[in-house]
Amino acid sequence: MNSIAVYSSKGGVGKTATAVNLAYASAHRGKRTLLCDIDPQGASSYYYRIPIKGQFNKKQFLKGRFKKYIQRTAYPHLSLLPAHFSFRNLDLALDPEAGNELKKIFASLKDDYDVLVFDCPPNMTLLSENLIMAADQVVMPVIPTTLSIRALAQSIKLFDKIGAERKKLRAFFSMVERRKNMHVDTVRSYRKKKVFFKTLIPYLADVEKMGATREPVAVSRPGSPAAVAYDRLWMEVWKRRV
Ligand SMILES: Nc1ncnc2c1ncn2[C@@H]1O[C@H](COP(=O)(O)OP(=O)(O)OP(=O)(O)O)[C@@H](O)[C@H]1O
Ligand SMILES: [Mg+2]
């Protein structure tokens, strides 16, 4: 089982759009995939039209009693663990001395899935630390602007601080707009650095429209530039898995 955390300390950089479309690409290419919506905003669950069932909340999740709340999506090989509003307090329930509680919890799924994708909330907290430790690979969307590059530098610092291996951190440029000089210049300066994937995700209306279609772009707009870009990103993520 390979786990991939789509993470950034910055909000609104395209984490959920990426998690939703990467998980779809993984499943479409035949991997038994579980998308874990760890963000209490529940956007991934919303995009896949998955409601929360029964008594699911952070207590069940942290006790590792969450398998029965996993739901199938409309697509082959793809399931989803929905987020719950109580996840907003996950940080308070985690042991600050441990750092690897979530890694242990997710390890119980190793025979059931080939790929786990975590849609992480925008934070730099104990929960972020747990998600980074639980992941084999951390995929970070970076909008080509100063503050996003700064968030990448801060994440590298966080990796060092918590003792996570830097080699499992990979970034890609997200929401790239070719008509903006700053985007073009930033991509040009950083793209060849080892930490970056080659694939970049352009700013495309089809991704924005996912809020209305509530489908991955490869379903709502098969063969579109957005669908092709996410599939290409998935191939790179899979190829460079640690
Ligand atoms: N490549 C893209 N092109 C156009 N719009 C995009 C793209 N990626 C994301 N968006 C839009 O930008 C907004 C933020 O994206 P998203 O929700 O994926 O970010 P996020 O990092 O998960 O945010 P949060 O930190 O709140 O969880 C959404 O409205 C989304 O539809
Ligand atoms: Mg999100």
The pLDDT value recorded for residue 163 is 96
The verdict on the CB of residue 11 being under 6 Å from ligand 1 is yes
Residue (of 122, 186, 126) closest to 158 by Cα position:
126
Which pLDDT tens digit goes with each residue over 134-152?
999 999 999 999 999 999 9
The pLDDT value recorded for residue 54 is 83
DSSP class per residue in 214-239: -S-HHHHSTTSHHHHHHHHHHHHHHH
The pLDDT value recorded for residue 70 is 96
Cα separation values, 40 from 27, 179, 213, Å: 24, 34, 21
Under 8 Å between Cβ of 40 and 236: no
For the CA of 212, the nearest ligand: 1
Average pLDDT of span 70-99? 94
Residue (of 37, 55, 59, 58) closest to 46 by Cα position:
37
Which pLDDT tens digit goes with each residue over 191-242?
999 999 999 999 999 999 999 999 999 999 999 999 999 999 999 999 988 7
The verdict on the CB of residue 30 being under 6 Å from ligand 1 is no
Which pLDDT tens digit goes with each residue over 149-190?
999 999 999 999 999 999 999 999 999 999 999 999 999 999
Which pLDDT tens digit goes with each residue over 23-65?
999 999 999 999 999 999 999 999 999 988 888 889 999 999 9
- Enumerate residues 6+ apart whose C-beta is below 8 A from 46: 214
Ligand 1 atom nearest 10 alpha carbon: 25
- How far is it, in rounded angstroms, from Cα 66 to Cα 162? 27
From 6, 15, 123, the mutation candidate for ligand 1 (largest count of ligand atoms within 8 A of CB) is 15
Under 8 Å between Cβ of 8 and 15: yes
For the whole model, what pTM was predicted?
0.97
Class for the domain spanning 2-239? alpha beta
The verdict on the CB of residue 208 being under 6 Å from ligand 1 is yes
Burial class (CB within 10 angstroms; exposed 0-12, middle 13-18, buried 19+) of 225: middle
The verdict on the CB of residue 38 being under 6 Å from ligand 1 is no
The pLDDT value recorded for residue 148 is 93
